[in-house]
C-alpha cells in the first residue's frame, strides 16, 4: 500500500512490475541490487534483463535468466523462470551488488540471439558493444541458429546499424 502512495506522490518510480523507491532513475549498482532482490539465488541475469542492468534502457522484463548446470534448480523453478542452461564458453559471468549477470559483450550477443524487439534490442546492443555488426554477426554464428533466428538477427543488426548511423556521437 505504501508503494501505491509513493508512486502517486512521485517519490517512487514504476519500472515494469518493479517499484524503485526513489524519485530518480536507478544507477547501474542500484539496478543490479533491485534485480538481485527479485531473481532467485541460483539465477544469472542475461539477455534483456542483464541489458537493462548494464544500460538502463528498455525494461528488465520479460525476465531472461540462465541457470547453472550444477546444482540444478528444481523442475518447478525452471518452469516458472524459463531459464536456459549457462554455457561458460558463451556466458562469462560477473557479480555486481550480489547479482550474477553475464558480461556486457555476452549480453549483447544474447540479446541479438534471443530478443525480438528491434528498438529495445538495438538500443541495448549499441550501448553494450563497440564491435562492428560484422563482428557481432560472426559471434552470433558461433552458436546454432534456426532460419527464423537468423532472419531476426539480421533485423536486429540492421537496427543496430541504423542507430549507430543516426546517433554516431552517442555510440562512440
DSSP code at position 23: S
The two most distant CA atoms of the chain are separated, in Å, by 50
pLDDT confidence band for 142 (50 / 70 / 90): very high
Q: Which pLDDT band holds residue 1 (cuts at 50, 70, 90)?
A: low
Q: What percent of the chain has pLDDT over 70?
A: 97
The predicted model gives 158-164 an average pLDDT of 93
- Assigned domain for 86 exists: yes
Would residue 5 count as lying in a domain? Answer: no
Of 114, 117, 105, 109, which Cα lies nearest the Cα of 84?
114
On the question of pLDDT at 38 being above 70, the answer is yes
* Residue 149 placed within a domain: yes
In-domain check, residue 4: no
Answer whether residue 160 is part of any domain: yes
Task: Read off the pLDDT of each residue in 7-18 and give the average, rounded to a whole number.
Answer: 88
The answer to whether the predicted template modeling score (pTM) of the entire model surpasses 0.85 is yes
Q: In the chain, where does DSSP find H-type helix?
A: 2-9, 28-38, 47-55, 75-81, 104-114, 118-128, 133-141, 147-166
**DSSP conformation letters of 127-157:** HH--S-HHHHHHHHHTS---HHHHHHHHHHH
If one counts the domains in the chain, the total is 1
Structure confidence at residue 10 (pLDDT): 83
How distant, in Å, are the alpha carbons of 55, 133, 154, 161 from that of 130?
A: 14, 9, 18, 12
Which domain range does residue 107 map to?
11-168
- Asked if residue 34 has pLDDT above 60, the reply is yes
Amino acid at each position: 500500500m505504501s508503494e501505491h502512495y509513493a508512486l502517486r506522490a512521485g517519490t517512487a518510480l514504476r519500472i515494469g512490475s518493479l517499484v524503485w523507491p526513489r524519485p530518480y532513475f536507478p544507477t547501474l549498482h542500484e539496478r543490479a541490487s533491485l534485480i538481485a532482490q527479485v531473481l532467485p539465488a541460483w539465477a544469472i541475469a542475461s539477455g534483456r534483463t542483464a541489458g537493462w542492468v548494464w544500460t538502463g534502457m528498455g525494461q528488465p522484463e520479460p525476465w531472461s535468466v540462465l541457470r547453472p548446470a550444477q546444482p540444478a534448480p528444481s523442475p518447478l523453478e525452471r518452469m516458472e523462470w524459463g531459464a536456459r542452461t549457462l554455457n561458460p564458453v558463451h556466458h562469462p559471468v560477473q557479480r555486481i551488488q550480489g547479482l550474477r549477470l553475464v558480461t556486457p559483450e555476452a549480453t549483447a550477443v544474447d540479446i541479438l540471439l534471443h530478443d525480438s524487439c528491434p528498438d529495445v534490442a538495438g538500443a541495448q546492443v549499441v550501448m553494450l558493444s563497440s564491435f562492428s555488426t560484422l563482428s557481432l554477426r560472426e559471434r552470433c554464428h558461433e552458436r546454432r541458429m534456426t532460419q527464423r533466428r537468423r532472419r531476426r538477427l539480421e533485423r536486429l543488426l540492421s537496427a543496430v546499424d541504423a542507430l549507430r548511423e543516426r546517433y554516431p556521437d552517442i555510440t562512440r
